[in-house]
Amino acid sequence: MSIIEKINQARQGEASSPWETLSIYRVPNASVTLIRSLTPLRLSPSAPTTADAAAFAPWIHKWRSLYHALDRTGRDVRLYLDAARFLEDRARSCYEAPISMSSDAFVESLVLDSIFALELFRGVAREGFRGLGYSPNDPVFAVRGIMHSLQRNMIMLENQLPLFVLDWILTLQLGYEPSGSYLVAPLSLRFFNPLMPTDELLRPTASSGPLYEVDSGGALHCIDVFRHNLLPCPTPASIPRLTCRGKQSARPFAAACPTPFSDAWWLPITNKRRWQLIHRVVDLRDAGIKFRRRTGVRFWDIEFKDGVLYIPCLLIHDGTKSLFLNLIVFEQCHLECDNHITSYLTFMDNLINSDVDVRYLHANEIIEHWLGSDGEVAVMFNRLCQEVMFDRHDCYLSELLEQVRYYNNKWNTWRASFNHKYFSNPLAFISLIAVVVLLLLIAAHTVYTVYPYYKPK
């Protein structure tokens, strides 16, 4: 192929690639192994490009979900196939990875995965699986241990389905006319609520407001819905993100910046000191900074006041690791959303370097975890942020970091070290007093010895 032919091929690819509609990305190779090690079960809806013929048993349960949905509603499967075919081009444009499937295979996979997800959402969030016609002893469609594994798997970025497809299929199931209503968002929030990194419920719940309907804030898929509801408010899509050269760009891939999936973009942070937002807990304590639990706010809402860092409680369990990792990947890939979650996790990664830091935060009720040890928590944070590209100036915690940095000067560090060394131990304090008294006696003796020499009688 000549260079002219290659340029023409690139021109055609540029014209046929709707960059603005991308929302379901290929996970960078550096994170694939870690994500999949945290989510061993492969039963959830998957992007049509990831269908594996060898995984036959999981597909049986997907076909079972379709059978139950058709039997319960009395609708013809062609109703859903026609809807998926109508949405096919729009759905294909959401996937970053090229889709080589035929039109029929793609449409079939889209319907099958959508029905499977909706049956799980409705079974957990509203009707219950018995109300949907499933047996209490069903191996998948029942509220039991496997459900937690499904939730962890379905929150993976590479397993997302476009939200508009799920909404359209659900409106057909309920007998509504597709009108752009957001019906799936509250169901997905209720379904993924056990993954919450706090003990509070996601808002809004599926039991609030009219049947099913709630504004999803223009979310792209379920993980975006989840992220919107973790943050103070939906992030405006009009706010551009910084590219790697600090320039604003309305397109995901700027010419001046390597592609987000190339080795040049997804580099490990080898010199972590360059990306240090804040010192570790042990060092901050030596500088006189105290830690207290903050209540009544979201987990990311950190405050610094009068030498005290007020940090809300963070609940860590097996699902938290997979959730945070996929949220980081989404924020790194989708340049039209901010880096709120990434900033928070980078901040916590800097605070926590070992089990000693975790133990102190746990003692102050800032971290609660269901893992095996404090050391596992430290390893989790250190692994989550290993491959993160991060700009400390593009961070919602920038002002707080400056306040901590101003407080953490040499005088405060010396004073805190002095207090910790001499006033926390009674024996050391007594020794200090003895030394001070001895110095005063020596000074007094010197004065009385020298004074007659200068002032003779």
Q: What is the DSSP string of 65-93?
A: HHHHHHHHH---HHHHHHHHHHTHHHHHT
Measure the CA–CA gap between 209 and 273, rounded to whole angstroms.
Answer: 48
Among residues 304, 310, 327, which one has the least CA distance to residue 231? 327
Chain CA centroid to CA 177, Å = 35
Residue 6 has a pLDDT of: 57
Helical axes 103-125 vs 145-154, angle rounded to 10°: 130
Pairing relationship of beta strands 367-369 and 314-316 according to DSSP bridges: parallel
- Average pLDDT over the chain reads 76
Q: Give the contacts of 208 (CB within 8 A, at least 6 positions apart).
A: 186, 214
Worst-scoring range by mean pLDDT, 98-102, 165-169, 236-240? 236-240
Structural tokens at position 393: 């100036």
Q: Where are the alpha helices (DSSP H) in 334-409?
A: 340-351, 355-363, 374-384, 398-407
- Is 196 within 8 Å of 314 (Cβ atoms)? no
User: What's the mean pLDDT in 63-91?
Assistant: 93
317-329 exposure pattern, b = at least 16 Cβ within 10 A, e = fewer: bebbbbbbbbbbb
Chain CA centroid to CA 159, Å = 15
Residue 271 has a pLDDT of: 46
Residue 309 has a pLDDT of: 95
- Tens digit of each residue's pLDDT (9 = 90 or more) over 426-438: 777 677 788 888 8
Sorted by where each begins, the domain ranges of the chain are 15-184, 274-410, 425-454
Stretch (H or E) spanning 293 = strand 290-294
**Amino acid code (one letter) for 384:** L
Tokens 């240090």, residue? 276
Among residues 350, 344, 307, which one has the least CA distance to residue 324? 344
CA dihedral for 135, 137, 142, 147, sign (positive or negative): negative
Chain CA centroid to CA 198, Å = 13
Residue 13 has a pLDDT of: 56
- Tens digit of each residue's pLDDT (9 = 90 or more) over 361-386: 999 999 999 888 999 999 999 888 77
Residue 71 has a pLDDT of: 92
